[in-house]
Amino acid sequence: MSNIILITGASSGMGRAAVNFLSTKDFIVYAGTRDVENFKDVKSKNIIPIALDLRDQNSIIKAIEFIKQKHGKIDVLINNAGYGLVSTVEDVSEDEMYAQFNINVFGVLRVCKSVIPLMRENKSGIIINISSFLGKIGLPLLTLYNSSKYAVEGITDSLRYELKDFNIRVHSIMPGFFDTKFARENLVTNKKTFDKNSPYSNLVSSLAPIIVEQINNGNSATEVSQMILEIIQNPKFPARATVGDKAKKFIPMKKELSDEDFERRVMEYYNI
């Protein structure tokens, strides 16, 4: 019997790459998306688009119930959906703050809340949270995104304890910058922060282009898909792993240096 996988945020970027890759490995992949029309040209019988709005618990419950009725199980949940808000803390609005956490954090919690009972009943399951190396490292202008990914790391750590007695594994993948549509479609900018008269204009003009360039020239999303497969196949896979050049550079460096020395290195690297 094929393993059943549910991926959120499956219509683009790392999510779409994972859907395509895993569907070739004899998995049945449910591709969670707000608009199933994003998959209208898909030919693979192993890819099943499913309507899923992470902001709406009822939408999530409906999707999980559909999969349960079809297969009686979900073997792997991949929490991939997310976007990045680029804003200073001074400029960010209440709506922007909530929207960032509503998808990146509360969305993860909502889907876990609905999937865990099914995994617990089956005494088996794997939850993989697609986090970011920025879940361990702060950068200016990305405070809201950073903090949302720090929260995902906390969710991962705590769930590992909470679910261990039910044979449910929980992992996080911390990618660096990857060549997906993230910079073009999944970065949301605050107008005040990017106003030419902003007191932060020097920081924006020096840092923002570097970040966008690093994303657009980053690693292939296939590397994340391959790591997902490794986690599924290896019961002893570590709690979290980095993938991509920036993640592999900065995460070990942060462990080795004091907070002050690490901060100095980051400022030098990004000229901030």
149 as an active site residue: the answer is yes
Of residues 176, 204, 206, the one with CA closest to residue 189: 204
Q: Say if CB 243 and CB 175 are below 8 A apart.
A: yes
Angle of the 57-71 helix axis to the 107-122 helix axis, nearest 10: 30
The residue from 131, 147, 148, 172 that is catalytic is 131
Q: Say if CB 44 and CB 25 are below 8 A apart.
A: no
The two structure tokens encoding residue 39: 């998959």
Q: How far apart are CA 73 and CA 3, in angstroms?
A: 9
98 as an active site residue: the answer is no
145 as an active site residue: the answer is yes
The residue from 11, 23, 148, 225 that is catalytic is 11
SS3 175: strand
192 as an active site residue: the answer is no
The residue from 145, 150, 172, 246 that is catalytic is 145
Q: How far apart are CA 210 and CA 208, in angstroms?
A: 5
The residue from 136, 149, 150, 246 that is catalytic is 149
Active-site amino acid positions: 11, 131, 145, 149
